[in-house]
């Protein structure tokens, strides 16, 4: 089986893909109902009011929706589209769609129809999607409602094209059942709060948008080999596998030349992405063998989140054409780097200012410091919730498991800004001319020049010149949840900041700039314990963080509690993003997701041990035993019989240990299944079931190392990762 799969993998030829700039110009956004298409297919008034609604977040009337639907349908049908779907992001963490045809029979003929109502709202019977108890099956109805701020697009499959309309998904009673609805709320709250604060510095700012650029890491393996591994097929990661002799220790993969077959795949999915207006710009090899990364130009956050979801779907589909399987799992292979999704986040005004870009004059420097320090405070206060928003069974293999970044939420800002903040806190007045531009004079607030090369790859949240980079998000995860939490925390923080500054101005008759600096100074004192410049991997940091009172939530069941903590409920309900019930629902969905994932892994380990590893090992054991008997019968000298005996004993002892430990894990799983309380059950799965996996694996991997290569039916690491 394994050799057949290897033969297939080795015989694949690269599929050539057209790759030139004129092609890119033609393709870019050709499948998006973007501004150009809107202008062509909508009448002037409709176009204008749609643009205004998108900009201001105002409601679109039914009449207007009908006009838009007519234009959208014409645009889509000219491009060969037959069906449309509301495209949404349910709490499964993936995307969902239900296709309807434009076609309707009328008087014995086929006519095409697409009404304003169909554009604006649909009622998919989505009772099988998770709701965390918010929606009983008797009121299974959920609504999808159009999100005009993310443009409709055409998704091409080999046998057809579908018009996809980005939507939110809410229950009959109005609770959010998806990731987009709360994200949109957080975006609008952040806009209001940041715009209000901007008024201290810039009177002409009327809108602030969060921006997001997502660096996406992934692995590629040959499809034929992938299909020979039940663990990869069912869990997206290898549960067994003896480490290849050569992994990433030579550092020869990172930024190395991209293999031809992989390069063709990259160009192909990039082209498909460009058609959908996803502005992919960067591609390179990552640290581990078989690991790669791509990144788009940053965009407005809602669009960037949609685009990342869409990109993962595309990458998966295009991989098929090239005989690859793309792995988004955070840790598909033990012993080498896992994958993350770096979320580069900033705040941009409608006047073109990046609020997290250090200023080049006193006013913009003060504005920068304001947003910078408020981000630190927001992150500090919400760090447990941020940890919860990135928690998953698969991300546990990175966070809290000797892999970057650690589970302790901290911020890296670099040496220049550390000094700036120190001076701000101590109210140091810089001597003019000294240490050139690097020092900030709080009284005069000159230019801040940040050294961009100051980097720390071990930090979960790093300031990288003009943006913060949340690196702790898992590669398979939707960015929606962590970005919603970050936006919400920042919105809440900026509201508080405005109140605090205004109070000082009104009550203490302080000057505006002094009031701002006074408040920032206080925030720094409250939150500076979250700043950490050192090595996030080290044991010292764990101790130091404990001393500082920072949380170290090492696994998902421990981390998820923050969803329902008093501070989360207070913040989210005050902002109007989630009610307590909605938070509990999400908490339960995440707990259940964790338990199910570990449960499935436990079952696959059991199955693979009994049906693949043990049979191979036992067959080999018999061969070894027969050999020992034969040697004895042949009257061979004792030393030579002993050598064979030793191999036999080693194999037998691992067989014994593997069986015993798998059985013990299965018993622990059965016990955990009887626990009713979801939180306790998830914790039992973490501490009693998941905790056994490494130990079981140890014996299986030893057997892989010992057993005759010809008996081993599963592709090995060296084949999965190093095949050229
Ligand atoms: P790296 O982190 O590997 O050095 P870059 O910093 O150039 O790479 O960019 C990483 C990502 O950050 C890209 O997607 C880029 O578009 C995005 N990015 C750059 N500026 C901003 C910004 N102001 N807001 C959000 N994302 C940004
Ligand atoms: Mg980066």
Cα 214 to ligand 1 centroid, rounded to whole Å: 8
Q: Is the pLDDT of residue 9 over 90?
A: yes
Cα 529 to ligand 2 centroid, rounded to whole Å: 24
Q: Is the pLDDT of residue 563 over 90?
A: yes
Task: Give 247-283 pLDDT, tens digit per residue.
Answer: 777 667 666 778 889 999 999 999 999 999 999 999 9
Cβ density class 337-347: b for 16+ within 10 Å, e for less = bbbbbbbbbbb
Cα 178 to ligand 1 centroid, rounded to whole Å: 27
Q: Is the pLDDT of residue 285 over 90?
A: no
Comparing CA positions, the residue from 35, 71, 40 lying closest to residue 51 is: 35
**14 vs 524: which has the higher pLDDT:** 524
User: Could you tell me if 122 and 143 are in contact, meaning their C-beta atoms sit under 8 angstroms apart?
Assistant: yes
> Is the Cα dihedral 194, 199, 200, 203 positive or negative?
positive
Cα 155 to ligand 1 centroid, rounded to whole Å: 27
CA–CA gap between residue 324 and residue 9 (Å, rounded):
9
Instruction: Give the pLDDT band (50/70/90) at residue 142.
Output: confident
**Residue 502: Cβ within 10 Å count:** 15
Considering every ligand atom, which ligand is closest to the CA of 340? 2
Q: Is the pLDDT of residue 434 over 50?
A: no
Residue 400's pLDDT is what?
75
> Is the Cα dihedral 234, 235, 237, 241 positive or negative?
negative
Considering every ligand atom, which ligand is closest to the CA of 349? 1
Query: Which residues are near ligand 1 (CB < 6 Å)?
Result: 211-213, 215, 295-298, 344-346, 354, 464, 466-467
| Best mutation site among 273, 278, 295 for ligand 1 pocket (most ligand atoms within 8 Å of CB) | 295
Fold agreement between 31-178 and 593-720: no
CA–CA gap between residue 456 and residue 252 (Å, rounded):
21
Instruction: Give the pLDDT band (50/70/90) at residue 139.
Output: low
Give the CATH fold of the 188-578 domain. Creatine Kinase; Chain A, domain 2 (3.30.590)
Task: State the average pLDDT over residues 690-699.
Answer: 97
Residue 451's pLDDT is what?
61
The CATH number fitting domain 593-720, selected from 1.10.260.40, 3.40.630.30, 1.20.120.1560, 3.40.50.300:
1.20.120.1560
pLDDT mean across residues, the chain: 91
Instruction: Give the pLDDT band (50/70/90) at residue 193.
Output: very high
Comparing CA positions, the residue from 386, 412, 387, 389 lying closest to residue 400 is: 387
CA–CA gap between residue 419 and residue 589 (Å, rounded):
43
Instruction: Give the pLDDT band (50/70/90) at residue 290.
Output: very high
Q: Is the pLDDT of residue 634 over 70?
A: yes
User: Could you tell me if 337 and 291 are in contact, meaning their C-beta atoms sit under 8 angstroms apart?
Assistant: yes
Through-space distance between the first and last CA atoms of the chain, rounded to whole angstroms:
20
| Best mutation site among 311, 467, 468, 486 for ligand 1 pocket (most ligand atoms within 8 Å of CB) | 467
CATH class of 31-178: alpha beta
User: Could you tell me if 408 and 545 are in contact, meaning their C-beta atoms sit under 8 angstroms apart?
Assistant: yes
For the ranges 125-129, 371-375, 381-385, which has the lowest average pLDDT? 125-129
User: Is residue 144 helix, strand or coil?
Assistant: strand
Comparing CA positions, the residue from 622, 602, 561, 589 lying closest to residue 690 is: 602
Cα 688 to ligand 1 centroid, rounded to whole Å: 41
Give percent of the chain above pLDDT 90: 75
Nearest CA to ligand 1 atom 19: 298
Instruction: Give the pLDDT band (50/70/90) at residue 424.
Output: confident
**428 vs 681: which has the higher pLDDT:** 681
User: Which protein residues have a CB closer than 5 Å to ligand 2 (ion)?
Assistant: 342
Q: List C-alpha distances in Å: 223 to 12, 196, 244, 271, 528.
A: 11, 53, 19, 22, 48
Instruction: Give the pLDDT band (50/70/90) at residue 351.
Output: very high
For the ranges 452-456, 526-530, 631-635, which has the lowest average pLDDT? 452-456
For the ranges 20-29, 38-47, 208-217, 411-420, which has the lowest average pLDDT? 20-29
Task: State the average pLDDT over residues 140-152.
Answer: 86
Task: State the average pLDDT over residues 147-175.
Answer: 91
User: Is residue 579 helix, strand or coil?
Assistant: coil
Task: State the average pLDDT over residues 624-642.
Answer: 95
Model-level pTM?
A: 0.94
Cα 476 to ligand 1 centroid, rounded to whole Å: 19
Residue 175's pLDDT is what?
84
Output the DSSP codes for 166-205: EEEEEETTS-B-BSHHHHHHHHHHHHHHHHHHHTTT-TT-
Task: State the average pLDDT over residues 684-690.
Answer: 97
Report domain extents, the chain. Answer: 31-178, 188-578, 593-720
């Amino acid at each position: 089986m394994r050799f057949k799969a290897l033969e297939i993998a080795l015989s694949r030829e690269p599929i050539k893909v057209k790759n030139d700039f004129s092609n890119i110009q033609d393709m870019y956004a050709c499948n998006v109902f973007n501004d150009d298409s809107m202008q062509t297919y909508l009448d002037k008034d409709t176009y204008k009011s749609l643009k205004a609604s998108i900009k201001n977040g105002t409601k679109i009337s039914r009449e207007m929706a009908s006009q838009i639907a007519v234009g959208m349908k014409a645009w889509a049908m000219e491009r060969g589209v037959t069906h449309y779907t509301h495209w949404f992001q349910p709490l499964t963490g993936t995307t969902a769609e239900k296709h309807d045809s434009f076609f309707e029979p009328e008087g014995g003929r086929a006519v095409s129809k697409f009404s304003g109502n169909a554009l604006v709202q649909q009622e998919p019977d989505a009772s099988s999607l998770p709701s965390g108890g918010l929606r009983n099956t008797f009121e299974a109805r959920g609504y999808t409602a159009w999100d005009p701020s993310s443009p409709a697009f055409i998704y091409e499959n080999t046998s057809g094209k579908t018009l996809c309309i980005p939507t939110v998904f809410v229950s009959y009673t109005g609770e959010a059942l998806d990731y987009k609805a709360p994200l949109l709320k957080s975006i609008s709250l952040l806009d209001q709060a940041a715009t209000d604060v901007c008024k201290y510095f810039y009177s002409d700012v009327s809108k602030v948008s969060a921006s997001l650029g997502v660096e996406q890491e992934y692995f590629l393996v040959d499809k034929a080999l992938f299909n020979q591994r039940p663990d990869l097929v069912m869990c997206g990661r290898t549960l067994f596998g003896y480490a290849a002799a050569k992994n990433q220790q030579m550092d020869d993969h990172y930024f190395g030349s991209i293999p031809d077959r992989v390069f063709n795949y990259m160009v192909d999915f990039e082209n498909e992405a460009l058609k959908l207006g996803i502005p992919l710009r960067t591609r390179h090899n990552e640290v581990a063998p078989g690991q790669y990364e791509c990144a788009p130009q940053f965009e407005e956050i809602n669009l960037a989140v949609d685009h990342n979801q869409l990109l993962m779907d595309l990458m998966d589909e295009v991989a098929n054409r090239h005989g690859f399987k793309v792995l988004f799992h955070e840790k598909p292979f033990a012993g080498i780097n896992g994958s993350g999704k770096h979320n580069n986040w900033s705040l941009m005004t409608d006047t073109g200012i990046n609020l997290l870009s250090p200023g080049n004059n006193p006013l913009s420097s003060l504005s920068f410091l304001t947003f910078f320090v408020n981000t630190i405070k927001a992150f500090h206060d919400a760090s447990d919730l941020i940890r919860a928003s990135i928690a998953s069974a698969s991300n546990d293999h990175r966070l809290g498991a000797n892999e970057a970044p650690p589970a302790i939420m901290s911020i890296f800002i670099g040496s220049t800004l550390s000094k700036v903040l120190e001076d701000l806190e101590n109210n140091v007045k810089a001597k003019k001319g000294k240490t050139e531009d690097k020092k900030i004079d709080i009284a005069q607030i000159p230019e801040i020049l940040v050294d961009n090369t100051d980097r720390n790859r071990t930090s979960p949240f790093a300031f990288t010149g003009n943006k913060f980079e949340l690196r702790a998000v898992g590669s398979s995860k939707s960015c929606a949840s962590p970005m919603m939490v970050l936006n919400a925390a920042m919105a809440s923080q900026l509201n508080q900041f405005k109140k605090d500054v205004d109070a000082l101005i009104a009550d203490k008759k302080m000057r505006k700039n002094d009031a701002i600096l006074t408040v920032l100074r206080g925030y720094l004192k409250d939150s500076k314990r979250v700043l950490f410049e050192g090595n996030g991997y080290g044991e010292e940091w764990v101790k130091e963080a404990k001393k500082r009172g920072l949380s170290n939530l090492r696994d998902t069941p421990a981390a998820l509690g923050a969803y329902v903590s008093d501070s989360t409920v207070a913040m989210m309900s005050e902002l109007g993003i989630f009610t307590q019930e909605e938070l509990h629902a999400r908490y339960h969905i995440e707990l259940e997701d964790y338990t199910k994932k570990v449960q499935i892994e436990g079952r696959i380990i059991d199955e693979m041990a009994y049906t693949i590893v043990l049979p191979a090992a036992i067959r080999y054991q018999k061969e070894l035993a027969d050999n020992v008997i034969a040697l004895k019968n042949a009257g061979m000298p004792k030393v030579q019989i002993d050598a064979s005996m030793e191999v036999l004993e080693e194999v037998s002892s691992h067989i014994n240990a593997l069986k015993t430990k798998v059985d013990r894990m299965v018993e622990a799983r059965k016990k955990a299944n009887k626990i009713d309380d979801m939180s306790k059950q998830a914790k039992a799965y973490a501490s009693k079931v998941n905790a056994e996996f490494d130990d079981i694996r140890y014996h299986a991997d030893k057997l892989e190392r010992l057993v005759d290569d010809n008996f081993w039916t599963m592709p090995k690491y060296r084949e999965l990762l190093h095949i050229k």
